[in-house]
Amino acid sequence: MVSLIQVFEIVLVLLLSTAIVASIPKFRELVNGKAKILLYLVLGLILFTLVGIGYNVIQDIHVSELMANAIANDPAADTSIIGKDAVSILWPYVQFFPLFIMSIALAGVVLVTYMEGELYGYIFAGTGFATLLPDALRYMGNGRYDLLLLGFALWAIIPVVWVFFYKEISRETPTLRERAWGAIKASIFSYPVYVATAAVAVFGESPRMISQSMFAGLGAISGDIGTFILLSLWFYLLLTVIIVSIMFVIHDLLMHVFNVRRTVTNKGIKYEIVHPIAEIIAQEEPKIDAYKGLIEEMEVFYKYMDRVDRLRAASTIARFKSEYNTIAARHDEGSKAEAERLIKLVDQEFKKKY
30/120 Cα distance (integer angstroms): 13
DSSP 8-state secondary structure symbol assigned to residue 55: H
The Cβ-side half-sphere exposure at 207, using a 13 Å CA radius, reads 1
pLDDT-based confidence at residue 87 (cuts at 50, 70, 90) = confident
Helix, strand, coil percent values for the chain (each to nearest 5)? 80, 5, 20
Give pLDDT tens digits for 214-256. Answer: 544 445 556 678 889 999 999 999 999 999 999 999 999 998 8
pLDDT of residue 217: 46
pLDDT of residue 234: 94
pLDDT of residue 292: 83
Among residues 304, 284, 302, 312, which one has the least CA distance to residue 338?
302
What is the percentage of the chain residues whose pLDDT exceeds 90?
43
Neighbours of 318 (CB within 10 A): 10
DSSP conformation letters of 125-145: HGGGGGGGGGGHHHHHHTT-H
Instruction: Give the residue, 94 or 313, on which the prediction is more confident.
Output: 94
What's the pTM value of the predicted model, to 2 decimals?
Answer: 0.75
Mean pLDDT of the residues in the chain: 85
338/162 Cα distance (integer angstroms): 66
3 state SS of 318: helix
Give pLDDT tens digits for 46-78. Answer: 999 999 999 999 998 888 887 777 677 777 665
pLDDT of residue 247: 94
User: How many angstroms from the chain centroid is the CA of residue 350?
Assistant: 74
pLDDT of residue 22: 94
Average pLDDT over residues 140-163: 94
Extents of the domains making up the chain: 4-210+219-273, 292-353
- Which of 1-5, 116-120, 240-244 tops mean pLDDT? 240-244
